[in-house]
């Protein structure tokens, strides 16, 4: 039986990271692109919902049907075309707006993307019930999943660069310009 992972931050209050709120607001307003949202999400915690599914019931002493066994499950969104998506939320409010009985599991955006690819989902839908919905799909989803799993080198058509600080060099001068 799978175990529930330990929280990334036990003191997490379920709030949305300010950088994520700003990026999604700008995206909705049309003043920022998907790249800015992905950059904000890459450093933030997301909440993945789990819900209880009834697996077996019985009739109790009073003649009423009652739960006998249930399992926790990761719900997926299924589109009209049959494609599936994994759900993730930026905060507890957005999660409750979607489904009040869902329980949050903390994860990074990269972990969520890796889980979506492992589940053969076509996308990750962030904040499906708003306030701003954002979708990660296609090559971007595959690349982010590969980063988390360490398999980026197996992707075709993807270039990976390592950026390291250059010591002793300045990219600009604080002195007065001569000229």
In the prediction, which pLDDT does 10 show? 73
Q: For the chain, which ranges sit under pLDDT 70? A: 1-8, 53-60, 65-72, 149, 151-179
In the prediction, which pLDDT does 170 show? 42
In the prediction, which pLDDT does 118 show? 92
Q: In angstroms, rounded to a whole number, what is the distance separating the alpha carbons of residues 12 and 170?
A: 39
Q: In angstroms, rounded to a whole number, what is the distance separating the alpha carbons of residues 32 and 23?
A: 7
Q: In angstroms, rounded to a whole number, what is the distance separating the alpha carbons of residues 179 and 175?
A: 12
In the prediction, which pLDDT does 36 show? 94
In the prediction, which pLDDT does 2 show? 47
pTM of the model as a whole: 0.74
């Amino acid at each position: 039986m799978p175990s529930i992972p330990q929280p990334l931050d036990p003191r997490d209050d379920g709030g949305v990271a300010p950088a994520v709120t700003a990026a999604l607001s700008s995206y909705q307003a049309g003043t920022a692109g998907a790249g800015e949202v992905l950059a904000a999400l890459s450093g933030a915690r997301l909440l993945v919902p789990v819900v209880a599914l009834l697996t077996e019931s019985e009739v109790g002493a009073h003649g009423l049907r009652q739960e006998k066994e249930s399992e926790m499950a990761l719900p997926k969104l299924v589109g009209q075309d049959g494609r599936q998506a994994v759900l993730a939320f930026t905060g507890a409010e957005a999660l409750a707006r979607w489904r009040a009985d869902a329980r949050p599991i903390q994860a990074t955006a990269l972990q969520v993307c890796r889980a979506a690819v492992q589940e053969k989902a076509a996308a990750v839908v962030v904040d499906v019930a708003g306030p701003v919905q954002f979708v990660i799909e296609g090559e971007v989803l595959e690349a982010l999943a590969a980063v988390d799993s360490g398999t980026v080198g197996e992707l075709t058509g993807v270039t990976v660069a390592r950026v390291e600080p250059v010591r002793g060099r300045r990219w600009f001068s604080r002195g007065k310009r001569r000229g």
